[in-house]
Amino acid sequence: MTRLSVNINKIATVRNARGGNMPDVQKAAQDCEIFGAEGITVHPRPDERHIRYSDVRLLKPLVKTEFNIEGNPIPSFVDLVTEVIPHQVTLVPDAEDAITSNAGWDTIRNRDFLTEMCKEFKSKGIRTSIFIDPDPRMAEGAAACGADRVELYTAGYAADYPSGPERAIASYLEAAKAAKECGLGLNAGHDLSLENLEYFIRTIPWTDEVSIGHAIICDALYMGLEKTIQAYLEKIRIF
């Protein structure tokens, strides 16, 4: 069954905009779990404009489900992850000035580096996932790097979904099949929402985890956090 991991970056963004500790990021993570989330995701960036490195350290003993830290494996990030030891690390090739993640790894061109990173994190017992575009070659490349999973970058699927779900998901299905054939686990994330999530899971039911943040926080403004998380769980608990 697909697990829902809630990305709490946007909660930290609201806190940082005003200063102080409201909303309380630690309490929000705990509440997400109480409301049914099966994982908590954070994506600390070097400028700490939302989740801070200190948040990650404070969250580790509080998260009772699964803790996923994602980000570009620059030295400071590597040091943080190997200190905290989350359940999963997701390697994302985002530039320091990127507003949000906007592309997956070229796992063929970056094979040596990614192999080194997978080895480093897996030596600490951390499941390692590589963020990729929906290209079977990138899934195969991730397997060659020693990854445990790939995460499909689903922004393209979300953008194309309104004009035709079948066409929108076609490349994702092929990449997901390639990942499965390589023995990789499968995650997905970015712009998944109440509108497009169920179709994705019905089409690719072996998806292990979806990581969703922005849409959940937007919906929670109207529905409340508890009802929103329950609504997302209903979209993935369809089998």
Q: Do 168 and 157 contact (CB within 8 A), yes or no?
A: yes
- Is 174 considered catalytic here? no
153 residue type, one letter:
Y
Instruction: State the first-to-last Cα distance of the chain, in angstroms, to the nearest integer.
Output: 8
Burial of 113 (0-12, 13-18, 19+ CB in 10 A): middle
Q: What are phi and psi of 213, to 5 degrees?
A: -130, -65
* Nearby residues of 13 by Cβ (< 8 Å), 6 or more positions away: 49, 50
- Is 96 considered catalytic here? no
Q: Which is the catalytic residue, given 33, 43, 50, 209?
A: 43
| C-alpha to C-alpha distance for 85 and 101, rounded to whole angstroms | 23
- Is 116 considered catalytic here? no
Q: Which is the catalytic residue, given 33, 38, 66, 70?
A: 70
Q: Which is the catalytic residue, given 38, 50, 66, 190?
A: 190
Annotated catalytic residues are 43, 70, 190
